[in-house]
Amino acid sequence: MSSAFVRRAAFASAAVALFGCHHGARVAPESASGSALGDTARIRADIVYLASDALEGRGTGTPGNDSAAAYLAREYARLGLQKIERAASCPEMRAGVRECVVGRASYLQLFSARSAAAAHAGLPGELPTQNVIAMQPGTDAALRRQYVVIGAHYDHLGRSTFDALDPEAKNAIRHGADDNASGTAAVLELARRFHAVPARRSIIFVNFSGEELGDLGSEYFVDNPPVPLDSIAAMLNFDMVGRLRNDKLIVYGVTTATEMRGIVDSANAVQPPLAITALGDGFGPSDHASFYGKNIPVLQFFTDMHEDYHKATDVASKINVPGEARVIDYAERVARSIANRPARLTYVRSSEPPPRMSMGSGNGTWFGSVPDMSTADEPGVKLAGVTAGSPADKAGVQAGDIIVEFGGKPVKDIYEYTDAIGAHKPGDVVTVVVLRAGTRLALTATLGKRGS
């Protein structure tokens, strides 16, 4: 998940024993997946490779990122999915890494990721990289020129401390198993299923690069679409879907189309159901926002934050693969409902402007809270957890507390919360007002420095 999230949120059978088996996978109606064991084996293999030391965290513009793209392209080629990108020009590339031929179809959409924030942090300001794009044609002659985009970013932080929450680990590999090898594996699995049983509309599978630098790959895609932008009926995004806990899945974007909430609810009419938290936001901190900004209905699937976010400890052994298979089963039902419906979704424009890009904790100020993103519609910010030994922990803040004021500033949502934190520097003493079991408490915290 992108660096925007850092600025907006101050902060488990032998086949799957490595990951901690919690739930059995089920095959969705109309699904082309094989046995539950087969599903989890494929998902596990994808995540293990993408989050391996060999790829060194898949940082945008690195050889590991290129290797991940080549892996994805090989899988789409093995399935026989269509190449649809025809390059009009070739950006600068490292010698021997990629080939770009103008007019030649390719799975790779090459672009240069330009990030002022990365340059300011001492990284190259322009990084040659690529999105990976493939298409499964639809079966309906009248609908196959309409498209559902299923996407996820495959880049992560690499060995950089830029936006890492463990800078003390220095150049350690940030593996990004949940963020976002898990989402990438979900897209690959859905590509296998839709290739085996196509939908009426065509499906475009996209793996974005540059998301951690600010949704750069998805922005490039919508500005340089391989199909007419107005032919894209919907975009479904997967970002951090590998840590399903207590059956809880967050789905953003349910108010981006009139029909979306009904589709999301109907897809969960299984036993046992997932505990779905459906939120309206189409401008959330990931690649779906680029599409919503172009008047395309979107959904974002997310199994919530955890303490390994943007750290070297986000590793494959912590992924709940059977849980992810449940998320994919659910998302497949949603995607098929959208791709097979006779009429297109009715886009709903947000009445709120896109959330501003707060610099939040960019100055290294650390509080140590883990927001519960499934309660984003409630006033204040409810906490899913508190990091042991953090300023929040030392101040007596607890999981379940709802922060309503920070440093004298009211907190109505996650954006105001990170703005309030970002207004302070390490060492500042602040009053934090929380609601705990209905009681308002004022706690005193001395803010720390990230990595100290």
Average pLDDT, stretch 266-279? 95
Q: What share of the chain is helix, strand, coil (3-state, %, to 5)?
A: 30, 25, 45
pTM to 2 decimal places: 0.79
Lookup: tokens for 161: 């401390």
Q: Judge: domain 3-83+133-340, CATH 3.40.630.10.
A: yes
Average pLDDT, stretch 129-138? 98
Report yes or no: 136 and 193 within 8 Å, Cβ to Cβ.
no
Q: What is the distance between the alpha carbons of residues 387 and 369, in angstroms, rounded to a whole number?
A: 6
Adjacent-strand bridge partners of 128? 112
The length of the chain in residues reads: 452
Q: What is the distance between the alpha carbons of residues 312 and 157, in angstroms, rounded to a whole number?
A: 10
Adjacent-strand bridge partners of 249? 276
| Ranges 7-11, 112-116, 247-251: which has the least confidence | 7-11
pLDDT given at position 17: 28
Residues of the chain with pLDDT > 70, as a percent, come to 82
Stated as kind and residue range, the H or E segment containing 189 is helix 183-196
Summarised one tens digit per residue, pLDDT across range 227-253 is: 999 999 999 999 999 999 999 999 999
Q: What is the distance between the alpha carbons of residues 452 and 448, in angstroms, rounded to a whole number?
A: 7
HSE-CB of 24 using CA atoms within 13 angstroms: 7
364-449 CATH choice from 2.120.10.30, 3.90.1330.10, 3.40.50.460, 2.30.42.10: 2.30.42.10
Summarised one tens digit per residue, pLDDT across range 315-337 is: 999 999 999 999 999 999 999 99
**Is there a shared CATH topology between the 3-83+133-340 domain and the 364-449 domain?**
no
Domain ranges of the chain: 3-83+133-340, 364-449
Average pLDDT, stretch 125-133? 92
Confidence of residue 24 (pLDDT cuts 50, 70, 90): very low
Summarised one tens digit per residue, pLDDT across range 70-107 is: 999 999 999 999 998 665 666 655 555 555 666 678 99
